[in-house]
Amino acid sequence: MSMNDPLGDMLTRIRNAQMRGKSTVRTPASKLRAWVLDVLKAEGYIRGYEEVTTDAGHKELEIGLKYHDGTPVIRELSRVSKPGRRVYAGAREIPQVRQGLGVSIVSTPKGVMSDAAARNANVGGEVLCTVF
């Protein structure tokens, strides 16, 4: 796994940790990752996250995963825009996930937000990932 796609790496770490039923997972800290986690938290997909510093002095984000009756709350987490193929959508074209049951996370000029927030703010942007 190359680190050309730090966000994709974080999403994979979350998926892998959930498959193992872990309560937390760590990922190297970055602004973009924190912004995406802010949306996941606001939408109720994770318990939250905090910035921690490793013994080596690297900053990491420790993400609290969320389960319901032992099943991960996040059933599906997919990267949409990739380093090799960026996906942009105007405010009106932002895809709905599972008829609105899921959330697209969009990086807009007004910040990283959910598809609903982007439509409300009437801004489009890069569709980073979808979560269901």
Q: How confident is the model at residue 2 (pLDDT cuts 50, 70, 90)?
A: low
Domain residue limits, the chain: 6-131
CATH of domain 6-131: 3.30.1490.10
Instruction: Tell if the pTM clears 0.85, that is, is over it.
Output: yes
pLDDT tens column, 27-83: 999 999 999 999 999 999 999 999 999 999 999 999 999 999 999 999 999 999 999
pLDDT tens column, 109-127: 999 999 999 999 999 999 9
Res 1: pLDDT: 47
Taking 70 as the threshold, does the pLDDT of residue 24 lie above it?
yes
- CA torsion, ordered 79, 48, 40, 83, to nearest 10 deg: -30
